[in-house]
Amino acid sequence: MKPLFHLRRRGLFRWLSNISLTVSVRSKQTGYVVYVDLFRNFAFVTRREYEIEESQSFALLLDRFRPKVFWDIGANIGLYSLLFLSRRPTGSVLAFEPDLRNLYLFNQTIRRNALSSVKIVPKAVDRQAGETTFFLDDITGATGTIVPNNFFILDQYGATPLQTMIRTTTLDEQLRENEGPDLIKIDVEGAELAALEGGRCMLESYLPVVLYEATTNPDQTGSLLENLGYMLFNARTFQAIDAPAYTTIALHQQKHLGGQHTFI
């Protein structure tokens, strides 16, 4: 949305983005009432839709593989969790999100819609549990990261992200008290390799469908999955690929594909 991009580069709008003004919007995609930040989530407020092409790909995976347990890694304000529940109402969600403003909004949405099947882990997912620096995106709320020098708001808007200390967990650690996933979505602004490295046991045990953004270390991330028996697909074209696309689907060759090279 080019007008919004230019608007966010203006000092006044960026100043307004620091004002936490919560509004509720009914999503066109799910029918749920979603609590959002008026300025940080301005595109969703005006359109009531989110990542249309990616959401369509996600919905196709839900219909094709019918997962029961969804792990939403980098949940933001919970829009993919809501999309999952809108199509799989008897399913359950384990959502990971470290940004405090996003957590507040997501929790408000859960309460408003009485979504008892959603559990939020207020931590970032990394290759090891502990603490790390989190670089906040206080303009869009969507690109906070634990990866140094991977700052979307600096590149796009010339803004330096604020820093805070947060707790981290691993996907393997979460298996101790949570049911393993059938489907995971990873949108963690460059930390996808670290997230998967901290979830090798989970991946080997449950072989979930994986939808992820390949922003940094795409070859290593792809190799990790391929070594576990996965094939990679472009999430927009659904074509098999040798190297990860920006948004990639990973399907296990035996569990999901039955030895085939396509799934649609």
Q: Mind listing the pLDDT tens digit for each residue in 90-123?
A: 999 999 999 999 999 999 999 999 999 999 999 9
Banded model confidence at residue 4, pLDDT cuts 50, 70, 90: low
Nearest residue to 119 via CA among 100, 141, 132, 103: 103
* Side chain identity, residue 208: P
Tell me the longest C-alpha to C-alpha distance in the chain: 55
172-191 per-position pLDDT tens digit: 999 999 999 999 999 999 99
CATH homologous superfamily of 51-252: Vaccinia Virus protein VP39 (3.40.50.150)
Beta strand pairing status for 124-125 and 163-169? parallel
Sheet of strand 247-252, all strands in order from the earlier edge strand to the far edge:
118-121, 92-96, 69-73, 183-186, 209-213, 247-252, 230-234, 240-241
Residue 92 pairs with which residues in a beta bridge?
69
In the numeric block, which tokens belong to residue 111?
């309460």
**What mean pLDDT is reported for the chain?**
92
pTM, full prediction: 0.93
Local confidence band at 161 (pLDDT 50, 70, 90 cut-offs): confident
Q: How many CB atoms lie within 10 A of CB 251?
A: 26
- How many CA atoms are closer than 13 Å to the CA of 40, on its beta-carbon side? 25
Exposure class string for 133-147: b at 16+ Cβ within 10 A, else e = ebbbbbbbbbbbbbb
pLDDT tens-digit readout, 233-259: 999 999 999 888 889 999 999 999 998
